Chain A
């Protein structure tokens, strides 16, 4: 079946502009995660959605970052007033109630 998809695969934006990153999880997966990975670094947790529960936003680095998950499926990560330090690969993952995460290919964001 289809895996986790993310769009766009690459995004170049100017400093100060807003960007939206999209994640389509695997159908039926109740959990959805967003991570950030800077060059040569580990995974930085951003936000976690689990079913109808309130999302865990504890990893969002600033109030410029927000995310929503509509209808328990597609998720959008929004970064307002982008800064150069926001440049990274943004990864989305989904998981069923029991089991591992399945990762998308990521969106490479470059802020110039």
Chain B
């Protein structure tokens, strides 16, 4: 079965420093990939998605992610974080070879330090 691994449950980063949140998924022929963000006491919203085309995907709020098929990864990056980026970030994968069900990782909590 498809699985999604977010190795870091929490990531502390100083304000204005770069950040990378890691996401790996179990191998499959074709996948769609997503990152969602959940701000404190709010619902989930889509940050960015990879469906096809360029492997470097740009999303909202200055975030980007790169699809690496050989490493089965979809790491999320931002060159300079702000206090407002404090949130929980979820990676998700849809395995097109099976039932298209979207599977979520356990989430990474991003703490921005002043």
Interface residues on A, range: 20 to 34
Candidates A42, A95, A105, A106; contact of B104 at CB < 8 Å: A42
Q: A50-B99, A98-B51 are in contact. Are A43 and B34 (CB under 8 A)?
A: no
Candidates A53, A56, A103; contact of B43 at CB < 8 Å: A103
Interface string of A85-108 (1 = CB under 8 A from B): 000000101010111110111100
Inter-subunit contact A43/B104 (CB<8 Å): yes
Interface residues on B, range: 20 to 34
Task: Tell me the bound Cα distance from A31 to B49 in angstroms.
Answer: 17
Name A residues whose Cβ lies closer than 8 Å to a Cβ of B: 31, 33, 35, 42-43, 45, 48, 50, 53, 56, 91, 93, 95, 97-101, 103-106
Name B residues whose Cβ lies closer than 8 Å to a Cβ of A: 32, 34, 43-46, 49, 51, 88, 90, 92, 99-107
